[in-house]
Amino acid sequence: MIFHINAYKRFSTKTNMELVALLSSGKGTWGQVSGLMKKGEWEKIILFGPDYAREFNVDGVAFDFIEYNPEKSITSLKEEFLKKLKEKLGSGFLNEVALSLASGSGKEHMALISALLSVPVGVRFTALTKDGIVFM
């Protein structure tokens, strides 16, 4: 018998967190990001994506878009993400951010997680499921 005790937590859509998400390879994964943006009440939304992701839009939802070159090395990406995160989060950011990695490659994921931890800021992985938004 398998028990799932607190394997993940549902939370109300009202939150005082910033949402940080990758918007990269696999346009099918963009729906996950769009759903998180629509269903949650975020203090701020920061999306990272290559130049072709600039076309992404969610009606009625404001967000900051940070463009990057996915061809860069993992260390260069981490440094670029870190610099741009510090600019966007500013001094008034909260201690934690919600992070969606539904889109992108492993290299992009590692660079973004490393940059967030270097800010430093806590990370709560988040996803949109049929039951709503969950933190994992």
Query: What are 59-114's pLDDT values in tens digits?
Result: 899 999 999 999 999 999 999 999 998 888 766 556 889 999 988 888 999 999 99
- Which residue segments constitute the domains of the chain, with CATH numbers given? 11-135 (3.40.50.2000)
Using CA atoms, how far apart are residues 42 and 13, in angstroms rounded to an integer? 9
Whose structure tokens read 């949109």?
128
Helix (H) or strand (E) holding 122, with range, is strand 122-129
What is the mean pLDDT of the segment spanning 37-52?
92
Pairing of strands 96-100, 64-67: unpaired
Which residue type sits at 66? I
pLDDT of residue 15: 58
pLDDT of residue 27: 59
The model's pTM is 0.83
